[in-house]
């Protein structure tokens, strides 16, 4: 996992902006199988460094519908 991507994700998690980044920054990378961002999110979640499930709720998802 790229140290830069990992640090960026952890910074977003610490700032409370991770869900925004998932939708507006990282979401554009979902379809690129060579981009390591999605795997970094998975690895950080699975290792307990971030909790994606805690920030993805019905209410928070409504903020990003459009």
- pLDDT tens figures, 12-62: 999 999 999 998 888 777 777 788 898 899 999 999 999 999 999 999 989
Round to whole Å and give the CA distance between 63 and 15: 18
pLDDT attached to residue 58: 92
Decide which of 64 and 53 is more confident.
Answer: 53
pTM of the model: 0.85
Q: Residue 43, SS3?
A: helix
Which residues have C-beta within 8 Å of that of residue 16, sequence separation ≥ 6?
none
Q: Where does the pLDDT of residue 1 fall: very low under 50, low under 70, confident under 90, or very high at 90 and above?
A: low
Checking if the pLDDT of 4 tops 80, the result is: yes
**Domain ranges (residues) in the chain:** 3-62
């Amino acid at each position: 996992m790229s140290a830069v991507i990992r640090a960026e994700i952890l910074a977003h998690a610490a700032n409370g902006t991770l869900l925004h980044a998932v939708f507006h920054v990282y979401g554009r990378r979902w379809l690129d199988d060579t981009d390591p961002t999605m795997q970094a999110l998975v690895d950080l979640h699975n290792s307990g460094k971030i909790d994606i499930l805690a920030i993805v709720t019905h209410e928070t998802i409504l903020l990003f519908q459009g």
